[in-house]
Amino acid sequence: MVTLAGGCTALILNEGVTRAPAYAFASLLEAGTFVQWCLAHTEELRSVAEATTRHGRLQDFRFAIEGNHVYLIFDFTTGDASGQNMVTIAT
């Protein structure tokens, strides 16, 4: 039906696979300390994640903090692979 209507155009704004492990801490102070540690070790986290795969690349990571819980949100690209298992292992 789309072909008969003249086709369609698509635009990809973001491509990747995301994983977001959750961490619970005894206090907001501990949660903040964890976030600071992650930011200070960005390249180490990237290196460890990428060492588990030939195709996965850690593009970015960010945080969502809810009380004493921290969600560390990893964004990966996976080449031509779907990459679900790849990014789970890397995370």
Per-residue pLDDT tens digits for 30-42: 999 999 999 999 9
Show Cβ contacts of residue 9 under 8 Å, excluding neighbours closer than 6 positions.
none
Residue 90 has pLDDT above 90, yes or no: yes
The domains of the chain, with CATH numbers, are: 17-90 (3.30.70.420)
Structure confidence at residue 15 (pLDDT)? 87
For residue 26, give Cα distances in angstroms to 29, 39, 61, 80.
8, 20, 23, 41
Q: Provide the 8-state DSSP code for 20.
A: -
**Which class for 32: exposed (0-12), middle (13-18), buried (19 or more C-beta within 10 A)?**
middle
Structure confidence at residue 14 (pLDDT)? 84
